[in-house]
Amino acid sequence: SCGLAQAADSTASKACKGGPLLDRFVSLLLDRYWASTPTAVSAMGLLQALDRSESSPLYFDHIAFRSFGVEGFGIKSIATIFVEFGFQQRDELQFPGKKLRALWFAPPHDRPDLPRIFISEIKVEELSEAAQRVIRKYTQEAGSGKYAPLCAVGSVLPWSNPTLADFELLAKESEYAAWTLINGYALNHATVAVHRMRGLSDGIAGLVEDLRQQGFDLNEEGGTLKVSPDNLLVQAATQADQVDFTFRDGEQGTVPGSYIEFAQRKRLPQYNELPDAQVSDAHLRDGFEASNADKIFHSTNMRAEAVPAAR
- Rule CB under 5 A: say whether 261 interacts with Ni ion: yes
By the rule CB under 5 A, 61 interacts with Ni ion: no
3-class state of residue 226 by DSSP: strand
- Closer residue to ligand OOG, CB minimum distance, 119 or 197: 119
Please identify, using beta-carbon distances, which residue of 139 and 188 lies nearer to ligand OOG: 188
CB-nearer residue toward ligand OOG: 17 or 62:
62
- List, as own/partner pairs, every contact residues 30-34 make where C-beta atoms lie below 8 angstroms and the sequence separation is at least 24, other chains included: 30/63, 30/187, 30/190, 31/153, 32/152, 32/153, 32/154, 32/155, 32/186, 32/187, 33/186, 33/187, 33/190, 33/258
The C-alpha atoms of residue 44 and residue 136 are separated, in whole angstroms, by 37
Residues 42-101 that bind ligand OOG (CB under 6 A): 64, 66
Residue 247 lies near ligand OOG (rule: CB under 6 A): no
Q: Give the range of 23-31, 62-70, 138-146, 224-232 binding Ni ion by CB under 5 A.
A: 62-70
219 lines the binding site for ligand OOG (CB under 6 A) = no
Helix (H) or strand (E) holding 204: helix 203-213
**Of Ni ion, ligand OOG, none, which one does residue 66 interact with (CB within 5 to 8 Å by kind)?**
ligand OOG
- Long-range CB pairs of 207-212 (<8 Å, 24+ gap) are 207/47, 207/50, 207/236, 207/262, 208/236, 208/262, 210/46, 210/50, 211/43, 211/46, 211/238
297 makes contact, choosing from ligand OOG, Ni ion, none, with CB < 5 to 8 Å by partner type, with ligand OOG
Render the burial of 41-70: b for 16+ CB within 10 Å, e for the rest: ebbbeebeebbeeeeeeebbbbbbbbbbbb
Considering only 122-130, 150-158, 161-169, 292-300, which stretch makes contact with ligand OOG by CB under 6 A? 292-300
Q: Is 106 exposed, middle or buried (0-12, 13-18, 19+ CB in 10 A)?
A: buried
Would you count residue 297 as binding ligand OOG (CB under 6 A)? yes
Interaction partner, residue 245 (Ni ion, ligand OOG, none; CB < 5-8 Å by kind):
none
Q: Does 188 bind ligand OOG (CB under 6 A)?
A: yes
Span of 50-58, 195-203, 276-284, 294-302 interacting with ligand OOG by CB under 6 A: 294-302
Stretch binding ligand OOG (CB under 6 A), from 126-134, 156-164, 244-252, 290-298: 290-298
Determine contact, residues 51/198, Cβ cutoff 8 Å: yes
Q: Confirm or reject binding of residue 239 to ligand OOG (CB under 6 A).
A: no
Residues forming contacts to ligand OOG in the complex (CB under 6 A) are 64, 66, 118, 120, 188, 235, 261, 288, 292-293, 296-297, 299
Residues forming contacts to Ni ion in the complex (CB under 5 A) are 64, 191, 261
